[in-house]
Amino acid sequence: INYSKWDDLEISDDSDIECHPNVDKRSMIRWKQEQIHREREARRNKIKELNAEVLGIKQQLARMETLQQKVKEEGVEFIVKT
């Protein structure tokens, strides 16, 4: 059985929220939910940024490996020519 669809499941339980008696509990729950959604969106954005950075680094690595191979084949003269 494949349970991979449950890997990214995020669970929040609002029943354990305790607040000051002067604060409406429904409002407190709503504020907490909004905070959870903001944090979740921030994590998603950070993941997108890091994935883009990883892609850029992989491209740089590929270019450097190509240059390294050319230097091994043609020697230092390859660098002087370019």
pLDDT mean by block of 10 residues, the chain; 82 residues: 75 67 84 93 97 97 92 78 63
Per-residue pLDDT, 38: 97
Q: What angle do CA 63, 69, 74 make, to 5 degrees?
A: 125
Question: For residue 12, how many other CB atoms are within 10 A of its CB?
Answer: 11
Per-residue pLDDT, 57: 98
Per-residue pLDDT, 11: 67
Q: Contact, 35 vs 27, CB < 8 A?
A: no
Return d(Cα 21, Cα 31) in angstroms, integer: 16
Q: Look up residue 63 and give its two tokens.
A: 């270019």
Per-residue pLDDT, 35: 93
Per-residue pLDDT, 82: 58
